[in-house]
């Protein structure tokens, strides 16, 4: 087998591979002979079909099949012999495939970069320090009660926090515009869902009242033709509703998984979940800062575009599903969620993945079984049957591998934190959660 290698640019390589004719032609002949033992053709006894007939009837298809297998095999042989590490699938371009001649093709692909791990020096990490207070628990429970509450109609002027049911008709210079009208529209006043001035203009209205308000669309409004435009809205208030919180009773407790013990047990479960969320948020915030430090210490690393493209596709699909979308074969997700939305984050993820993998190897780390067990138990604690969840993770190799991978990342973080300057910062529960959100990896 002949192999030549060419550097196209950066991480891109092109292999030109020549396979001796006898390897391919011999494999084709062997496969035709094996097939002849079982094939049935009119005019021939089973197992007695001449090779010339087999070649005429099946030779083209068998040769295509064999060539596909030979290309796959020889590409793997070539990258091993040339000590290459392909990133992503190669692009194969045949050059010569004729019977009786050497098979030749090119394979173009990217390789993983050769990484030199630098010291992550001078790392300073801010670590939020917070407790879950009784007031925090009360606030979360009120949110639960709102979620399970009901809207009750009241006979008074609308206030911020109320929900109104309205009809509205918008005009610009006396002319209606697209999207400017609605009937029986339910709107929570103070929610900020409408353009500035709209909700404020409804405050004080009673059911049955009509009113006209003037507003100005924001300069960054989604519809370009309305950006900065003045408009008038005729509004009819049909209902004023107030949210009645769900009572603290067995029905509410059961809906959140607490079937016995009443309010004390319910509050205790809420607090435990909040403490778990707080702990994870602090860990995430610290980890994100360490990841920033790793990136900063390894500027200029080139990453394979094929891996970035794979990451973009995964992020796009995940976002589409999060918003309740179901992709169909004819749907062009790239036009709905273009690559540019994800490119920077995808490149960061790929770069971190490569660097962390190299660090794990350099530090000779292995996933600590005790930490893996702890991570799985933490996940399982949110379910009603934790032991079943734990057993499931240990029986599913792919899921277990994902947990082990996260644990290895955390072990890298722990190692780097040992030499970092950690600054504890007193924080509230909500602020500690907010600190972890902007830089999700």
Q: Is the pLDDT of residue 244 over 50?
A: yes
Average pLDDT over every residue of 333-341: 86
Same domain, 420 and 277: yes
Average pLDDT over every residue of 375-390: 92
DSSP 239-251: EEEEEEPPPSSHH
- Give backbone dihedrals phi and psi of 422, rounded to 5 degrees, phi first: -105, 125
Same domain, 419 and 282: yes
Say if CB 11 and CB 108 are below 8 A apart: no
- Residue 87 CB-half CA count within 13 A: 23
Q: What would the two tokens of residue 289 be?
A: 């800062």
Same domain, 290 and 395: yes
* Domain end residue (candidates: 192, 210, 244): 244
Which pLDDT score is estimated for 250?
A: 93
Q: Counting Cβ atoms within 10 Å, is residue 412 exposed (0-12), middle (13-18) or buried (19+)?
A: buried
Q: Report yes or no on 302 lying in a domain.
A: yes
Q: Is the pLDDT of residue 83 over 90?
A: yes
Same domain, 200 and 54: no
In three-state secondary structure terms, 373 is helix
pLDDT tens by residue, 129-156: 999 999 999 999 999 999 999 999 999 9
Same domain, 6 and 77: yes
Same domain, 235 and 271: no
Q: Report yes or no on 144 lying in a domain.
A: no
The whole-chain average pLDDT of the chain stands at: 92
Residue range(s) defining the domain that contains residue 373 = 124-133+259-325+333-436
Q: Is the pLDDT of residue 441 over 50?
A: no
Q: Report yes or no on 142 lying in a domain.
A: no
- Give backbone dihedrals phi and psi of 33, rounded to 5 degrees, phi first: -65, -40
Same domain, 282 and 161: no
Same domain, 129 and 173: no
| Beta strands at 124-129 and 421-426: parallel, antiparallel or unpaired | parallel
Q: Considering all CA atoms of the chain, what is the largest pairwise distance in Å, rounded to the nearest integer?
A: 97
Same domain, 129 and 106: no
Provide the β-strand partners of residue 216. Answer: 230
Q: Counting Cβ atoms within 10 Å, is residue 47 exposed (0-12), middle (13-18) or buried (19+)?
A: exposed
Q: Is the pLDDT of residue 439 over 60?
A: no
Q: Which helix (H) or strand (E) is 88 found in, with range?
A: strand 86-96
CATH number of the domain residue 295 falls in? 1.10.3120.10
Q: Report yes or no on 266 lying in a domain.
A: yes
Q: Is the pLDDT of residue 248 over 90?
A: yes
pLDDT tens by residue, 226-239: 999 999 999 999 99
- Please give the residue that has the higher pLDDT: either 436 or 102: 102
Identify the CA nearest to 308 among candidates 273, 342, 358, 274: 342
pTM, two decimal places: 0.76
Which pLDDT score is estimated for 60?
A: 85
Say if CB 403 and CB 372 are below 8 A apart: yes
What's the CA gap between 378 and 55, in Å, rounded?
63
Which pLDDT score is estimated for 58?
A: 84
pLDDT tens by residue, 28-56: 888 888 887 777 788 777 777 777 778 87
- Integer CA distances (angstroms), 250 to 175, 310, 384, in order: 54, 48, 17
Provide the β-strand partners of residue 425. Answer: 128
Which pLDDT score is estimated for 440?
A: 47
Q: In sequence order, what are the residues at sequence separation of 6 or more whose Cβ sits closer than 8 angstroms to the Cβ of residue 257?
A: 269, 384
Q: Report yes or no on 400 lying in a domain.
A: yes
Which pLDDT score is estimated for 41?
A: 82
Structurally, the chain folds into a number of domains equal to 3
Confidence of residue 59 (pLDDT cuts 50, 70, 90): confident
Confidence of residue 326 (pLDDT cuts 50, 70, 90): low
Q: Report yes or no on 225 lying in a domain.
A: yes
Same domain, 297 and 230: no
Same domain, 272 and 214: no
Q: In sequence order, what are the residues at sequence separation of 6 or more whose Cβ sits closer than 8 angstroms to the Cβ of residue 265?
A: 253, 258
Q: Find the Cα–Cα–Cα–Cα dihedral 141, 147, 151, 154, rounded to 10°.
A: 30
Which pLDDT score is estimated for 55?
A: 80
Q: 211-218 — which CB contacts under 8 Å span 24+ positions?
A: 211/235, 211/237
* Domain end residue (candidates: 179, 212, 244): 244
CA dihedral for 342, 345, 348, 352, sign (positive or negative): negative
Which pLDDT score is estimated for 130?
A: 96
- Give backbone dihedrals phi and psi of 177, rounded to 5 degrees, phi first: -135, 160
Say if CB 245 and CB 141 are below 8 A apart: no
Which pLDDT score is estimated for 438?
A: 62
Average pLDDT over every residue of 339-362: 95
Q: Report yes or no on 138 lying in a domain.
A: no
Rounded to 5 degrees, what angle do the CA atoms 135, 140, 142 make? Answer: 90
Q: Is the pLDDT of residue 376 over 70?
A: yes
Give first-to-last CA distance, the chain, whole Å: 44
CATH number of the domain residue 88 falls in? 3.30.70.1050
Say if CB 265 and CB 258 are below 8 A apart: yes
Q: Report yes or no on 249 lying in a domain.
A: no
In three-state secondary structure terms, 261 is coil
Say if CB 27 and CB 119 are below 8 A apart: no
Same domain, 290 and 376: yes
* Domain end residue (candidates: 218, 244, 270): 244
Rounded to 5 degrees, what angle do the CA atoms 347, 351, 354 make? Answer: 140
Instruction: Tell me the percentage of the chain whose pLDDT exceeds 90.
Output: 79
């Amino acid at each position: 087998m002949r192999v030549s290698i060419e550097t196209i640019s950066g991480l891109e390589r092109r292999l030109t591979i020549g396979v001796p004719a006898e390897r391919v032609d011999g494999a084709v002949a062997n496969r035709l002979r094996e097939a002849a033992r079982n094939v049935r053709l009119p005019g021939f006894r089973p197992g007695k079909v001449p090779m010339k007939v087999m070649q005429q009837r099946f030779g083209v298809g068998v040769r295509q099949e064999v060539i596909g297998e030979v290309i796959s095999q020889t590409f793997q042989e070539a990258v091993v012999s040339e000590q290459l590490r392909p990133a992503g699938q190669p692009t194969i371009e045949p050059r010569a495939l004729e019977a009786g001649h050497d098979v030749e093709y090119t394979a173009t692909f990217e390789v993983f970069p050769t990484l030199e791990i630098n010291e992550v020096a001078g790392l300073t990490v801010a670590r939020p320090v917070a407790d879950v207070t009784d007031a925090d628990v009360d606030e979360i429970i009120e949110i639960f009660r709102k979620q399970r509450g009901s809207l009750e109609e009241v006979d008074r002027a609308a206030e911020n926090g109320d929900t109104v049911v309205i009809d509205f008709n918008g005009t610009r210079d006396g002319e209606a515009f697209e999207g400017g009208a609605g009937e029986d529209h339910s709107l929570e006043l103070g929610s900020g869902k409408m353009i500035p001035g709209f909700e404020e203009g409804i405050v004080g209205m009673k059911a049955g009242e009509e009113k006209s308000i003037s507003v100005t669309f924001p300069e960054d409004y989604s519809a370009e033709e309305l950006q900065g435009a003045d408009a008038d809205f005729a509004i009819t208030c049909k209902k004023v509703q107030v949210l009645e919180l769900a009572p603290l009773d067995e029905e509410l407790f059961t809906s959140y998984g607490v079937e016995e013990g009443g309010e004390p047990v319910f509050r205790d479960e809420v607090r435990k979940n909040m403490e778990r969320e707080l702990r994870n948020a602090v860990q995430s915030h610290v980890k994100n800062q360490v990841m920033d430090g790793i990136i900063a210490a390894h500027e200029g690393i080139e990453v394979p575009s094929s891996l970035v493209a794979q990451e973009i596709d995964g992020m796009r699909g995940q976002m589409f599903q999060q918003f309740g979308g179901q992709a169909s074969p004819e749907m062009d997700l790239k036009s709905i969620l273009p690559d540019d939305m994800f490119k920077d984050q995808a490149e960061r993820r790929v770069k971190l993945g490569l660097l962390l993998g190299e660090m794990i190897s350099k530090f000779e780390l292995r996933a600590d079984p005790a930490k893996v067990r702890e991570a799985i138990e933490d996940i399982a604690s949110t379910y009603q049957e934790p032991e079943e969840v734990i057993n499931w993770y240990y029986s599913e190799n792919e899921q277990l591998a994902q947990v082990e991978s996260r644990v290895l990342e955390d072990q890298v973080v722990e190692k780097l934190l040992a030499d970092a300057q950690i600054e504890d910062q007193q924080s509230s529960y909500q602020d500690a959660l907010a600190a972890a959100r902007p830089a999700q990896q």
